[in-house]
């Protein structure tokens, strides 16, 4: 999944790693040793999450 720069926020942690999360869905977040790695991990997690919602693992009503 490709994320646009307006889709997520990246912050640095106290231990020097990076934390990325989607602006519109706090369930999707990821860490990485670099900002690029955190963003790549976030894209993978977001794709997995969307697939899980689509396949019925999660019900959309749980998050509304």
- What radius of gyration do the chain's Cα atoms show? 12
Is residue 1 assigned to a domain?
A: no
Domain that holds residue 58: 8-63
- Give residue 39's pLDDT: 94
Is residue 14 assigned to a domain?
A: yes
Rounded Cα distance between 16 and 22, Å, is 20
Is residue 3 assigned to a domain?
A: no
Is residue 40 assigned to a domain?
A: yes
Is residue 17 assigned to a domain?
A: yes
Is residue 2 assigned to a domain?
A: no
What is the value of pTM for the model shown?
0.76
Q: Structural domain tally of the chain?
A: 1
42: helix, coil or strand?
Answer: helix
- Give residue 25's pLDDT: 83
User: Mean pLDDT for each 10-residue chunk of the chain (64 residues)?
Assistant: 83 96 88 96 90 68 54
Rounded Cα distance between 50 and 40, Å, is 16
Q: How many CB atoms lie within 10 A of CB 35?
A: 15
- Give residue 1's pLDDT: 64
């Amino acid at each position: 999944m490709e994320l646009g720069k307006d889709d997520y926020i990246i912050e640095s942690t106290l231990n020097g790693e990076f934390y990325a999360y989607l602006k519109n869905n706090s369930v999707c977040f990821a860490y990485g040793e670099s900002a690029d790695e955190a963003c790549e991990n976030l894209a993978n997690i977001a794709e997995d999450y969307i697939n899980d919602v689509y396949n019925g693992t999660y019900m959309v009503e749980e998050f509304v």
